[in-house]
Chain A
Amino acid sequence: MSETVSKDNTLRALGVALAVAFVCALLVSVVAVGLRPVHKANIEAERIAQLELVLAALSDIGRAQTIDSLEARLVNLATGAFDESMDPTTFDAARAASKPATSVAIPADLDLAGLKRRALLAQVYLVRSSGGVIDLVILPVSGRGYQSTLRAWLVLDGDTRTVRALKFYQHGETPGVGARIEDPEWEAQWRDLPAYDDDGVLRIGVRSHGAGYSDDAQYQVDGISGATRTAQGVDGMLRFWMGEFGFGPFLQRIREERL
Chain B
Amino acid sequence: MQDSKWRILSRPLIDDNPLTLQILGICSALAVTTSLDTALLMSFVVVCVLALGSGSVSLIRNYLPHSVRIIVQITIIASLVIVVDQVLQAYAFELSKRLSVFVGLIITNCIVLGRAEGYAMQNGFVASVLDGIGNGLGYSLILILVGAIREFFGKGSLLNVQILVPTSQGGAFEPLHLMLLPPSAFFIIGGIIWYIRRKRPQQVEKPEFTLRQLQQESE
B67 contacts across to A, CB distance below 8 A: 8, 13
A64: interface (CB < 8 Å): no
Closest to B66 in A: A8
- Known contacts A27-B79, A176-B175; A16 and B65 CB within 8 A of each other: yes
Q: Contact: B86 with A16, CB < 8 Å? A: no
Q: Mark A28-47, 1 if CB is under 8 A from B, else 0.
A: 10011001001100100110
CA distance A20 to B64 in the complex (A): 10
- Residues of B82-102 contacting chain A, CB below 8 A: 82-83, 86-87, 89-91, 93
Q: Mark B40-72, 1 if CB is under 8 A from A, else 0.
A: 000000000000000000001001111110011
What DSSP secondary structure best describes chain B's contact surface?
helix
Closest to B154 in A: A175
A99: interface (CB < 8 Å): no
CA distance A13 to B68 in the complex (A): 7
Closest to A226 in B: B168
Please give the distance in Å from B74's CB to the nearest CB on chain A.
10
Q: Contact: A16 with B90, CB < 8 Å? A: no
Q: Contact: B82 with A28, CB < 8 Å? A: yes
CA distance A46 to B76 in the complex (A): 32
Please give the distance in Å from A160's CB to the nearest CB on chain B.
33
Q: Contact: B65 with A8, CB < 8 Å? A: yes
Residue count of chain A within 8 Å CB distance of chain B:
26
B65 contacts across to A, CB distance below 8 A: 7-9, 12-13, 16
- Residues of A161-190 contacting chain B, CB below 8 A: 174-177
B87 contacts across to A, CB distance below 8 A: 31, 35
- Known contacts A8-B66, A17-B71; A32 and B86 CB within 8 A of each other: yes
Q: How large is the interface on B (under 10, 10 to 19, 20 to 34, 35 or more residues)?
A: 20 to 34
A4: interface (CB < 8 Å): yes
- Residues of B160-184 contacting chain A, CB below 8 A: 166-169, 175, 177
Closest to A21 in B: B75
Contact partner of B91 (CB less than 8 A), chosen from A9, A38, A46, A177, is A38
Q: Contact: B83 with A17, CB < 8 Å? A: no
B115: interface (CB < 8 Å): no
B150: interface (CB < 8 Å): no
CA distance A175 to B175 in the complex (A): 9
CA distance A12 to B166 in the complex (A): 64
CA distance A46 to B89 in the complex (A): 12
B residues adjacent to A (C-beta < 8 A): 60, 63-68, 71-72, 75-76, 78-79, 82-83, 86-87, 89-91, 93, 155, 166-169, 175, 177
Q: Give 16 A-B contacts (CB < 8 Å), ordered by A residue.
A: A4-B66, A8-B66, A16-B63, A17-B75, A20-B76, A21-B75, A24-B75, A28-B83, A31-B86, A32-B82, A32-B86, A38-B90, A39-B89, A175-B155, A176-B167, A176-B168
Identify the 4 closest CB pairs spanning chains A and B, nearest first: A176-B168, A24-B79, A38-B90, A13-B65
